[in-house]
Amino acid sequence: EDQVTQSPEALRLQEGESSSLNCSYTVSGLRGLFWYRQDPGKGPEFLFTLYSAGEEKEKERLKATLTKKESFLHITAPKPEDSATYLCAVQEGKAAGNKLTFGGGTRVLVKP
């Protein structure tokens, strides 16, 4: 069974204090790893998809990286508006229908 574990569960940062979120996974064959941002009471907002180890993608202050066992979401010089829950999800290689398995999320709070 696929396992997706995110750490830490919660992260409090000062504005400008860079940090990284971790997503560890065990799947029989990774087809894709996804990062989403979710604000309270809203649906997840797509950020990145990573497909192979060594791949990196950036968007504003966010950078996602992928290895064979984990992915990191780096937040550089965060601002209060970066406060949200960040979710990672994996698509397993044998899955039919391309379903995603989500981790528990990391709640990020950036204080001004």
Partner 1 sequence: GAVVSQHPSWVICKSGTSVKIECRSLDFQATTMFWYRQFPKQSLMLMATSNEGSKATYEQGVEKDKFLINHASLTLSTLTVTSAHPEDSSFYICSARTPGTSASYEQYFGPGTRLTVT
Pick the binder of partner 1 from 29, 42, 94, 112 (CB under 8 A).
Answer: 42
Q: How many residues bind partner 1 (CB under 8 A)?
A: 24
Is position 46 an interface residue for partner 1 (rule: CB under 8 A)? yes
Q: Taking the CB of residue 7, how many other CB atoms lie within 10 A of it?
A: 14
| 51 is an interface residue for partner 1 by CB under 8 A | yes
Q: Which of residues 1-40 bind partner 1 (CB under 8 A)?
A: 31-32, 34, 36
Question: Other CB atoms closer than 10 Å to residue 87's CB: what's the count?
Answer: 24
**Residue 19: C-alpha distances to residues 52, 69, 74, 90 (Å):** 23, 20, 6, 22
56 vs 60: CA distance, rounded Å? 13
Q: Does 111 bind partner 1 (CB under 8 A)?
A: no
Our CB check for partner 1 shows the closer of 96 and 112 to be: 96
Tell me how far apart the alpha carbons of residues 21 and 34 are, in angstroms, rounded to a whole number.
Answer: 13
Binding pattern for the stretch 77-106 against partner 1, x by CB under 8 A and - elsewhere: ----------x-x------xxxxxxxxxx-
Nearer to partner 1, 42 or 112 (CB): 42
Residues that bind partner 1 (CB under 8 A): 31-32, 34, 36, 41-46, 49, 51, 87, 89, 96-105
